[in-house]
Amino acid sequence: MRNKNDSIIGLTPIFNTIIFEMKKQRKKLYFFTMVTILVAVLLSYVLHLFPDNLLSDTQAEFFSSGLGFISFITLFAACMFFSGIICSEFNKRTGFIVFPKINKYKLIIGKYLGNLFLVVFIITVYYFVLGLMGFYYYGGPINIRIFYSYGFAVLYVIALSSFVTLFSSFMKNVNITIITTLIILLMGFSIADMIVNLIYASTFEPLYSLAYLGNLITSVLQNPFPDPRYVEYSFGGMGPGGMGGSFSFGSWVTPSIFMGTTLLLVYIVAFFVIAALLFKRRQL
Protein backbone atom coordinates (compact mmCIF):
# COMPACT_ATOMS: atom_id res chain seq x y z
CA MET A 1 0.00 0.00 0.00
CA ARG A 2 1.45 3.32 -1.02
CA ASN A 3 1.91 5.92 1.68
CA LYS A 4 2.04 9.70 1.56
CA ASN A 5 5.82 9.78 1.12
CA ASP A 6 5.57 7.63 -2.01
CA SER A 7 3.08 10.12 -3.51
CA ILE A 8 5.38 13.05 -2.71
CA ILE A 9 8.36 11.24 -4.23
CA GLY A 10 6.29 10.51 -7.32
CA LEU A 11 5.53 14.22 -7.75
CA THR A 12 9.11 15.37 -7.12
CA PRO A 13 10.22 14.98 -10.77
CA ILE A 14 7.31 17.21 -11.86
CA PHE A 15 8.27 19.92 -9.35
CA ASN A 16 11.93 19.70 -10.39
CA THR A 17 10.96 19.98 -14.07
CA ILE A 18 8.75 23.01 -13.34
CA ILE A 19 11.62 24.83 -11.61
CA PHE A 20 14.09 23.87 -14.33
CA GLU A 21 11.75 24.99 -17.12
CA MET A 22 11.02 28.33 -15.43
CA LYS A 23 14.75 29.00 -15.10
CA LYS A 24 15.34 27.91 -18.68
CA GLN A 25 12.69 30.31 -20.03
CA ARG A 26 13.64 33.31 -17.90
CA LYS A 27 14.96 35.33 -20.87
CA LYS A 28 11.60 34.98 -22.63
CA LEU A 29 9.92 35.91 -19.35
CA TYR A 30 12.00 39.09 -19.00
CA PHE A 31 11.33 40.09 -22.60
CA PHE A 32 7.56 39.53 -22.49
CA THR A 33 7.27 41.16 -19.06
CA MET A 34 9.04 44.30 -20.28
CA VAL A 35 6.89 44.44 -23.43
CA THR A 36 3.75 43.87 -21.36
CA ILE A 37 4.57 46.70 -18.94
CA LEU A 38 5.41 49.07 -21.80
CA VAL A 39 2.19 48.27 -23.66
CA ALA A 40 0.07 48.56 -20.51
CA VAL A 41 1.61 51.92 -19.58
CA LEU A 42 1.29 53.18 -23.16
CA LEU A 43 -2.41 52.28 -23.46
CA SER A 44 -3.46 53.25 -19.94
CA TYR A 45 -1.33 56.37 -19.32
CA VAL A 46 0.81 57.78 -22.15
CA LEU A 47 -1.96 57.94 -24.75
CA HIS A 48 -4.20 59.84 -22.34
CA LEU A 49 -1.62 62.62 -22.09
CA PHE A 50 -2.69 63.74 -25.58
CA PRO A 51 -5.81 65.97 -25.80
CA ASP A 52 -7.42 63.81 -28.49
CA ASN A 53 -7.43 60.72 -26.25
CA LEU A 54 -9.78 61.57 -23.43
CA LEU A 55 -10.32 59.29 -20.48
CA SER A 56 -13.27 56.92 -20.56
CA ASP A 57 -16.36 57.85 -18.58
CA THR A 58 -16.18 54.84 -16.27
CA GLN A 59 -13.47 52.64 -14.82
CA ALA A 60 -14.90 49.58 -16.59
CA GLU A 61 -14.68 51.33 -19.97
CA PHE A 62 -11.11 52.33 -19.16
CA PHE A 63 -10.20 48.71 -18.43
CA SER A 64 -11.93 47.54 -21.60
CA SER A 65 -9.99 49.97 -23.80
CA GLY A 66 -6.74 49.12 -22.02
CA LEU A 67 -7.26 45.40 -22.65
CA GLY A 68 -7.49 45.86 -26.39
CA PHE A 69 -3.97 44.48 -26.82
CA ILE A 70 -4.20 41.57 -24.36
CA SER A 71 -5.22 39.06 -27.03
CA PHE A 72 -2.00 39.68 -29.00
CA ILE A 73 0.16 39.32 -25.89
CA THR A 74 -1.49 36.06 -24.87
CA LEU A 75 -1.34 34.72 -28.43
CA PHE A 76 2.37 35.43 -28.96
CA ALA A 77 3.25 34.28 -25.45
CA ALA A 78 1.40 30.99 -25.93
CA CYS A 79 3.14 30.30 -29.25
CA MET A 80 6.59 31.17 -27.91
CA PHE A 81 6.36 29.37 -24.56
CA PHE A 82 4.41 26.22 -25.45
CA SER A 83 5.64 25.41 -28.95
CA GLY A 84 8.49 23.24 -27.68
CA ILE A 85 6.62 21.31 -25.01
CA ILE A 86 6.66 18.02 -26.93
CA CYS A 87 8.42 18.40 -30.28
CA SER A 88 11.66 19.63 -28.66
CA GLU A 89 12.00 16.29 -26.86
CA PHE A 90 11.96 14.44 -30.17
CA ASN A 91 14.01 17.05 -31.99
CA LYS A 92 16.77 16.62 -29.37
CA ARG A 93 16.07 12.85 -29.29
CA THR A 94 15.42 12.87 -25.53
CA GLY A 95 12.16 11.12 -26.37
CA PHE A 96 14.15 8.01 -27.23
CA ILE A 97 15.99 7.69 -23.91
CA VAL A 98 15.57 4.10 -22.80
CA PHE A 99 16.72 4.30 -19.20
CA PRO A 100 14.06 5.53 -16.75
CA LYS A 101 15.53 8.85 -15.65
CA ILE A 102 12.06 10.39 -15.55
CA ASN A 103 8.64 9.32 -16.69
CA LYS A 104 8.07 11.04 -20.03
CA TYR A 105 4.53 12.10 -19.13
CA LYS A 106 5.78 13.68 -15.90
CA LEU A 107 8.41 15.48 -17.96
CA ILE A 108 5.79 16.92 -20.34
CA ILE A 109 3.46 17.87 -17.46
CA GLY A 110 6.29 19.62 -15.63
CA LYS A 111 7.34 21.53 -18.75
CA TYR A 112 3.77 22.57 -19.46
CA LEU A 113 3.04 23.76 -15.91
CA GLY A 114 6.34 25.66 -15.73
CA ASN A 115 5.53 27.59 -18.90
CA LEU A 116 1.91 28.10 -17.85
CA PHE A 117 3.01 29.73 -14.59
CA LEU A 118 5.25 32.11 -16.55
CA VAL A 119 2.55 33.13 -19.04
CA VAL A 120 -0.03 33.61 -16.27
CA PHE A 121 2.53 35.79 -14.47
CA ILE A 122 2.89 37.94 -17.61
CA ILE A 123 -0.90 38.36 -17.82
CA THR A 124 -1.06 39.17 -14.11
CA VAL A 125 1.52 41.93 -14.58
CA TYR A 126 -0.59 43.44 -17.37
CA TYR A 127 -3.75 43.44 -15.26
CA PHE A 128 -1.84 44.75 -12.22
CA VAL A 129 -0.51 47.77 -14.14
CA LEU A 130 -3.94 48.41 -15.66
CA GLY A 131 -5.58 48.10 -12.24
CA LEU A 132 -3.12 50.59 -10.72
CA MET A 133 -3.84 53.12 -13.44
CA GLY A 134 -7.59 52.57 -13.05
CA PHE A 135 -7.28 53.25 -9.33
CA TYR A 136 -5.11 56.31 -10.05
CA TYR A 137 -7.64 57.86 -12.43
CA TYR A 138 -10.96 56.81 -10.89
CA GLY A 139 -10.18 55.92 -7.28
CA GLY A 140 -11.47 52.88 -5.45
CA PRO A 141 -12.95 50.45 -5.28
CA ILE A 142 -11.65 48.55 -8.30
CA ASN A 143 -14.51 47.39 -10.52
CA ILE A 144 -15.03 43.71 -9.75
CA ARG A 145 -15.56 42.93 -13.43
CA ILE A 146 -11.83 43.23 -14.05
CA PHE A 147 -11.40 40.07 -11.95
CA TYR A 148 -13.95 38.29 -14.16
CA SER A 149 -11.96 39.47 -17.17
CA TYR A 150 -8.75 38.20 -15.59
CA GLY A 151 -10.34 34.79 -15.05
CA PHE A 152 -11.36 34.58 -18.70
CA ALA A 153 -7.88 35.72 -19.77
CA VAL A 154 -6.30 32.85 -17.82
CA LEU A 155 -8.84 30.39 -19.23
CA TYR A 156 -8.15 31.73 -22.73
CA VAL A 157 -4.40 31.28 -22.25
CA ILE A 158 -4.92 27.66 -21.20
CA ALA A 159 -7.03 27.12 -24.34
CA LEU A 160 -4.32 28.69 -26.53
CA SER A 161 -1.62 26.66 -24.80
CA SER A 162 -3.55 23.42 -25.35
CA PHE A 163 -3.93 24.33 -29.04
CA VAL A 164 -0.19 25.01 -29.41
CA THR A 165 0.68 21.86 -27.43
CA LEU A 166 -1.48 19.85 -29.82
CA PHE A 167 0.59 21.07 -32.77
CA SER A 168 3.79 20.50 -30.80
CA SER A 169 2.80 16.84 -30.45
CA PHE A 170 3.17 16.11 -34.18
CA MET A 171 5.31 18.93 -35.62
CA LYS A 172 8.99 18.24 -36.32
CA ASN A 173 10.59 21.19 -34.53
CA VAL A 174 9.88 24.28 -32.45
CA ASN A 175 10.24 26.89 -35.22
CA ILE A 176 7.74 25.18 -37.50
CA THR A 177 5.30 24.90 -34.58
CA ILE A 178 5.63 28.63 -33.78
CA ILE A 179 5.14 29.73 -37.39
CA THR A 180 2.21 27.38 -38.02
CA THR A 181 0.29 28.23 -34.86
CA LEU A 182 0.91 31.97 -35.29
CA ILE A 183 -0.46 31.88 -38.84
CA ILE A 184 -3.54 29.91 -37.80
CA LEU A 185 -4.28 31.98 -34.69
CA LEU A 186 -3.47 35.37 -36.24
CA MET A 187 -4.91 34.94 -39.72
CA GLY A 188 -6.61 31.57 -40.07
CA PHE A 189 -9.41 32.11 -37.58
CA SER A 190 -9.87 35.75 -38.66
CA ILE A 191 -10.23 34.82 -42.34
CA ALA A 192 -12.63 31.99 -41.47
CA ASP A 193 -14.70 34.39 -39.31
CA MET A 194 -14.97 36.91 -42.16
CA ILE A 195 -16.07 34.24 -44.62
CA VAL A 196 -18.67 32.90 -42.19
CA ASN A 197 -19.99 36.43 -41.54
CA LEU A 198 -20.30 37.15 -45.26
CA ILE A 199 -22.00 33.88 -46.17
CA TYR A 200 -24.04 32.88 -43.14
CA ALA A 201 -24.29 36.19 -41.26
CA SER A 202 -26.71 35.91 -38.33
CA THR A 203 -27.53 32.23 -38.86
CA PHE A 204 -24.14 30.86 -37.79
CA GLU A 205 -22.21 32.02 -34.71
CA PRO A 206 -18.45 31.38 -35.06
CA LEU A 207 -18.11 29.38 -31.84
CA TYR A 208 -15.38 27.26 -33.47
CA SER A 209 -13.02 30.27 -33.37
CA LEU A 210 -10.63 30.76 -30.45
CA ALA A 211 -10.26 34.39 -31.49
CA TYR A 212 -14.02 34.89 -31.19
CA LEU A 213 -14.18 33.16 -27.80
CA GLY A 214 -11.39 35.47 -26.62
CA ASN A 215 -13.76 38.44 -26.98
CA LEU A 216 -15.16 37.46 -23.59
CA ILE A 217 -12.08 39.03 -21.98
CA THR A 218 -13.29 42.54 -22.79
CA SER A 219 -17.04 42.02 -23.27
CA VAL A 220 -17.46 40.78 -19.68
CA LEU A 221 -16.43 44.28 -18.56
CA GLN A 222 -19.50 45.80 -20.14
CA ASN A 223 -22.52 46.42 -17.94
CA PRO A 224 -24.97 45.31 -19.11
CA PHE A 225 -23.44 42.46 -21.09
CA PRO A 226 -23.82 43.02 -24.88
CA ASP A 227 -27.37 42.21 -25.96
CA PRO A 228 -28.03 41.60 -28.80
CA ARG A 229 -24.70 39.89 -29.44
CA TYR A 230 -25.15 40.11 -33.21
CA VAL A 231 -24.85 43.61 -34.70
CA GLU A 232 -25.44 44.83 -38.25
CA TYR A 233 -23.55 47.75 -39.77
CA SER A 234 -24.73 49.81 -42.77
CA PHE A 235 -22.67 52.01 -45.09
CA GLY A 236 -23.60 54.35 -47.90
CA GLY A 237 -26.87 56.06 -48.66
CA MET A 238 -28.87 57.96 -51.27
CA GLY A 239 -26.68 59.76 -53.79
CA PRO A 240 -27.43 62.84 -55.98
CA GLY A 241 -30.61 62.56 -58.02
CA GLY A 242 -31.90 59.75 -55.87
CA MET A 243 -29.19 57.42 -57.09
CA GLY A 244 -26.95 55.45 -54.83
CA GLY A 245 -27.03 52.46 -52.61
CA SER A 246 -26.04 51.11 -49.27
CA PHE A 247 -24.07 48.16 -48.05
CA SER A 248 -24.60 46.33 -44.79
CA PHE A 249 -22.95 43.42 -43.05
CA GLY A 250 -23.34 41.72 -39.71
CA SER A 251 -20.88 40.62 -37.07
CA TRP A 252 -21.03 38.63 -33.86
CA VAL A 253 -19.68 40.70 -30.98
CA THR A 254 -19.12 38.05 -28.32
CA PRO A 255 -20.26 34.59 -27.27
CA SER A 256 -22.50 34.27 -24.23
CA ILE A 257 -20.68 33.78 -20.94
CA PHE A 258 -22.07 30.26 -20.48
CA MET A 259 -21.38 29.09 -24.04
CA GLY A 260 -17.95 30.73 -24.18
CA THR A 261 -16.83 29.20 -20.90
CA THR A 262 -18.19 25.78 -21.83
CA LEU A 263 -16.53 25.71 -25.23
CA LEU A 264 -13.18 26.91 -23.88
CA LEU A 265 -13.23 24.05 -21.36
CA VAL A 266 -14.29 21.55 -24.05
CA TYR A 267 -11.52 22.69 -26.40
CA ILE A 268 -8.94 22.51 -23.60
CA VAL A 269 -9.85 18.92 -22.76
CA ALA A 270 -10.12 17.88 -26.42
CA PHE A 271 -6.79 19.41 -27.45
CA PHE A 272 -4.93 17.88 -24.50
CA VAL A 273 -6.46 14.42 -25.05
CA ILE A 274 -5.57 14.45 -28.75
CA ALA A 275 -2.06 15.75 -27.96
CA ALA A 276 -1.54 12.92 -25.44
CA LEU A 277 -2.69 10.29 -27.95
CA LEU A 278 -0.41 11.69 -30.66
CA PHE A 279 2.48 11.86 -28.20
CA LYS A 280 1.98 8.22 -27.26
CA ARG A 281 1.76 7.16 -30.88
CA ARG A 282 4.85 9.20 -31.73
CA GLN A 283 6.82 7.39 -29.00
CA LEU A 284 5.79 4.03 -30.41
Summarised one tens digit per residue, pLDDT across range 71-105 is 889 999 999 999 888 877 665 554 444 434 667 77
Element housing 235 (H / E): strand 230-238
What pLDDT, on the 0 to 100 scale, is given for residue 140?
A: 78
Please say whether the beta carbons of 181 and 163 come within 8 A.
Answer: yes
Question: In 3-state terms, the chain is what percent helix, strand and coil (to 5)?
Answer: 70, 5, 25
What pLDDT, on the 0 to 100 scale, is given for residue 157?
A: 95
Measured between its terminal Cα atoms, the distance across the chain in Å is 31
- Residue 253 above 90 pLDDT? no
Residue with more model confidence, 231 or 165: 165
Residue with more model confidence, 168 or 90: 168
What integer is the mean pLDDT of 13-31?
Answer: 89
What pLDDT, on the 0 to 100 scale, is given for residue 148?
A: 92
- Residue 62 above 80 pLDDT? yes
What integer is the mean pLDDT of 221-238?
Answer: 74
What pLDDT, on the 0 to 100 scale, is given for residue 5?
A: 58
Backbone angles phi, psi at 246, to 5 degrees: -135, 160
Coil vs helix vs strand at 178: helix
Which conformational region is residue 68 in: left (phi greater than 0), alpha (psi within -120 to 50 degrees), or beta?
alpha
Across the chain, what does the average pLDDT equal?
82
What pLDDT, on the 0 to 100 scale, is given for residue 96?
A: 42
Number of structural domains in the chain: 1
Letter string b/e over residues 70-82, b meaning 16 or more CB atoms within 10 A of that residue's CB: bbebbbbbbbbbb
pTM for the model stands at: 0.86
Confidence of residue 137 (pLDDT cuts 50, 70, 90): confident
255: cis peptide before it, omega within 30°?
Answer: no
Tell me the CA distances in angstroms from 262 to 78, 205, 234, one per residue in order.
21, 15, 33
What pLDDT, on the 0 to 100 scale, is given for residue 97?
A: 43
What pLDDT, on the 0 to 100 scale, is given for residue 17?
A: 86
- Residue 162 above 90 pLDDT? yes
Confidence of residue 1 (pLDDT cuts 50, 70, 90): very low
Q: Which domain holds residue 13?
A: 4-283
Backbone angles phi, psi at 238, to 5 degrees: -75, 125
- Cβ neighbours of residue 136 under 8 Å, at least 6 residues apart? none
Q: Which of 52-56, 81-85, 123-127 has the lowest mean pLDDT?
A: 52-56
- Residue 120 above 90 pLDDT? yes
d(CA 61, CA 281): 48
Total count of residues recorded for the chain: 284
Q: Which of 73-82, 164-173, 234-243, 246-255 has the highest mean pLDDT?
A: 73-82
What pLDDT, on the 0 to 100 scale, is given for residue 95?
A: 44
Tell me the percentage of the chain whose pLDDT exceeds 70: 84
